[in-house]
Chains A and B, each alone.
Chain A
Amino acid sequence: KAGVTQTPRYLIKTRGQQVTLSCSPISGHRSVSWYQQTPGQGLQFLFEYFSETQRNKGNFPGRFSGRQFSNSRSEMNVSTLELGDSALYLCASTPGTSGFSYEQYFGPGTRLTVT
């Protein structure tokens, strides 16, 4: 089974621009979560989508948004980029949204650099 894929792997943007990152979960997985990893703040939860609905949201400003499509693929968007948005963005997928049997499988991440 193919793992979680994320595109693009690397991205360089300028302050003020917007960016869209894509995540394709493992086949059959319906929940996709996004995390931001920075040296200063560590790994922080952004949001979770299940069946095209946002189920949970972390403590991030409204500039960070996401969506999920009917095939479970997900995108996240960051508008009006700031230097502090430079980070590794990780996507994770699980079969469902709750229950003891689910662990999250992570993709390789998208490294975003804002200049």
Chain B
Amino acid sequence: AQKVTQAQTEISVVEKEDVTLDCVYETRDTTYYLFWYKQPPSGELVFLIRRNSFDEQNEISGRYSWNFQKSTSSFNFTITASQVVDSAVYFCALRKNAGNMLTFGGGTRLMVKP
């Protein structure tokens, strides 16, 4: 069975602070895919990144960066110089090689205060 754990249920930071959202996953599959989604108050899940299990290269996109470590089964997400618009719930998710079923973590609510 697959499982995704986001231990931080809520994080509050002041604007311009860096913040890291943790994600730990469990799977017996050798090939799998990890995702991060952002859910603003409007409710729609916005895709941020996909990472394949065979690609451990870290990725940076503007103020966002992701650190994937298979050795610790973690896929952490860092926002540099946070902004109020980053306030949202962030979900980490895991998918098998076949099919489109996503297993989501419980989400981390990020509040960025001005």
Which chain A residues have a beta carbon within 8 Å of chain B's beta carbons? 31, 33, 35, 42-45, 48, 55-56, 58, 88, 90, 92, 94, 97-98, 100, 102-109, 111
> Does the CB pair B50–A103 fall under 8 Å?
yes
Stretch at the interface among B19-27, B59-67, B102-110: B102-110
- Taking a contact as CB atoms closer than 8 A, the residue among B97, B101, B106 that contacts A45 in the complex is B101
Given the known interface contacts A100-B33, A100-B52, the answer about A107 and B101 at a Cβ–Cβ threshold of 8 Å is: no
A109, B35: Cα distance in complex, Å? 19
Q: Does any Cβ of A come within 8 Å of B114's Cβ? A: no
> Does the CB pair B44–A107 fall under 8 Å?
yes
User: Could you say which residues of chain B place their CB within 8 Å of the CB of A97?
Assistant: 98-100
> Does the CB pair B43–A108 fall under 8 Å?
yes
Q: Does any Cβ of A come within 8 Å of B91's Cβ? A: yes
The 7 closest A-B pairs by CB, nearest first: A106-B45, A43-B104, A98-B98, A108-B44, A45-B101, A103-B50, A56-B99
User: Could you say which residues of chain A place their CB within 8 Å of the CB of B105?
Assistant: 42
A48, B104: Cα distance in complex, Å? 15
